[in-house]
Amino acid sequence: MDYYIISLIGVVSLFLLIAMSVPVSFAMLIVGFSGIYYIIGPMAAFNLISAGIWEQVSSYPLSVIPLFILMGEILSRSGITKQLMNAAYAWVGHMKGSMASTTVLTGAGFGAVCGSNSATTAAVGSIALPEMKKYEYDPTLRAGVVAAAGTLGTIVPPSSVLIIVALQAELAIRDLFLASIIPAFILVSFFMLTIALICYRYPLMGPAGKKTPLVQKIKKMSGVIESFLLFAIVLGGLFAGWFTSTEAAAVGCLGALVVCTIQGKLKWESFQSSMKNTLIYSSMILMLIIGAVVFGRFLAITRIPFIIADWATQLPISALFIMATILLIFLLGGAIMDAMGFLVIAMPIFLPVALSLGYEPLWFGIMVCLATGMGAITPPIAVNAFIVNALDPSIGFKNIMRGISLFLPAFLLTLIILLIFPQLI
């Protein structure tokens, strides 16, 4: 049997297993190992798999993952989401749509310590949805802004999604973090502009709140300034070359412990929960990496990514059109599963294609993160829409879909700008 037929059977089997609710990591492991076993035999398969897994999971740069996750867990349990919401609202609450804008800023802040679009949507939505309801915000706007804010978990550094992409594309984590700053700023700005335009056209969708006195504004910054200072030290030190990515994550963990201890918000039970969740999420990510290694070895043996790359370069159409098609595939993938899971599957297939077309791996990594993030709010599936519906079923799924569609142009404009001006990345 030809290798390309075997690889096609493998890819179809992979998505069938995922559709049957087999975890993505185990689905990749099963398909990858079975394919290698069939092609090169049992002993060679076991030797290749064991060597590849050991080489990957014993890598020193991987230690950055549990450290950044622990940092995020400690900060989130200190009540940073509520603090961010209160502080942002104190400063912009007197403006129309201010609570929605606050939700976007909180999503950006929490996304930086979380890295998952699903988790960011759940964490921010659990606080923002009741608050916006209290201030009589339109259900459509409430649902749309929470789902859109949740997508920022994939693009705002130090996102664990960016770390996975960096490892898969063999990029420096520091470089990918730095490259994501301007795209994240553009996307957040377009979200804020969308809210402003909606509330200008339909003022009752996002009514203005009361103006907060300056003294209260300053008081509300308590607890937030320390967290922002911590991020400035961690990311600033990383970009300035003071720390490696692993050292920056370690400094972040220590800083989070110190900040939360000084604030009196780190209880023993919270610390235990933080450690437990760090182990769970780190194990999940490591299993995704292991699955990706095995599946990637299978694809490398069949040479299907390189066959696709050669085929793509010989097509009588522009490289821009091919790249737009690839981004559409990532968008659809992000619509049916969490961004990290799809990126782990698709990167080994499409990265060689992007490189053969002359695109920079750094640029490609940022673009696919944005595309999968957009998928999370793209009807008719939209992963984040289901999370919002679970948080507040009273909004209604139709209103949720209508709300998230308001923010799709912001994503589309961001992708178009970065396609035209790749220097921004």
Segment 99-152, tens digit of pLDDT: 888 888 888 877 766 666 777 888 788 888 888 888 789 999 999 999 999 888
Cα→Cα distances 6→197, 299, 301, 350, 403, Å:
51, 10, 10, 18, 42
pLDDT at 406: 93
Question: pLDDT at residue 25 above 80?
Answer: yes
Question: pLDDT at residue 364 above 70?
Answer: yes
DSSP-H helix ranges across 135-213: 139-150, 160-168, 173-201
- Please state, in angstroms and rounded to a whole number, the distance separating the CA atoms of residues 288 and 220: 40
- Please state, in angstroms and rounded to a whole number, the distance separating the CA atoms of residues 115 and 177: 12
Question: pLDDT at residue 206 above 90?
Answer: no
Map out the domains of the chain as residue ranges. 3-424
Which phi-psi region, left, alpha or beta, contains residue 241 (left: φ > 0; alpha: ψ -120 to 50)? left
Residues 6+ apart with CB under 8 A from 18: 24, 27, 337
pLDDT at 169: 84
- Please state, in angstroms and rounded to a whole number, the distance separating the CA atoms of residues 94 and 178: 33
| Top-confidence residue, 402 or 106 | 402
Question: pLDDT at residue 236 above 80?
Answer: yes
Cβ(74)–Cβ(257) below 8 Å: yes
Residues 6+ apart with CB under 8 A from 170: 361
CA-derived radius of gyration, the chain: 22
> Quick one: pLDDT band at residue 191, thresholds 50, 70, 90?
very high
pLDDT at 81: 66
Range in 30-44, 209-223, 236-250 the model is least confident about: 209-223
Amino acid letter, residue 309: A
- Please state, in angstroms and rounded to a whole number, the distance separating the CA atoms of residues 228 and 230: 5
The C-alpha angle 155, 160, 165, rounded to 5 degrees, equals: 75
Question: Whole-model pTM above 0.75?
Answer: yes
Cβ(67)–Cβ(250) below 8 Å: yes
Among residues 340, 282, 259, the alpha carbon closest in space to that of 76 is found at 259
Segment 74-84, tens digit of pLDDT: 877 777 767 77
Cβ(377)–Cβ(384) below 8 Å: yes
pLDDT at 342: 82
How many other CB atoms are there within 10 angstroms of residue 405's CB atom? Answer: 15
Helix (H, G, I), strand (E, B) or coil at 85: helix
Among residues 408, 409, 412, 369, the alpha carbon closest in space to that of 177 is found at 369
Region 194-220: mean pLDDT is 82
pLDDT at 335: 80
pLDDT at 415: 93
> Quick one: pLDDT band at residue 11, thresholds 50, 70, 90?
confident
Question: pLDDT at residue 365 above 90?
Answer: yes
Question: pLDDT at residue 214 above 90?
Answer: no
> Quick one: pLDDT band at residue 258, thresholds 50, 70, 90?
confident
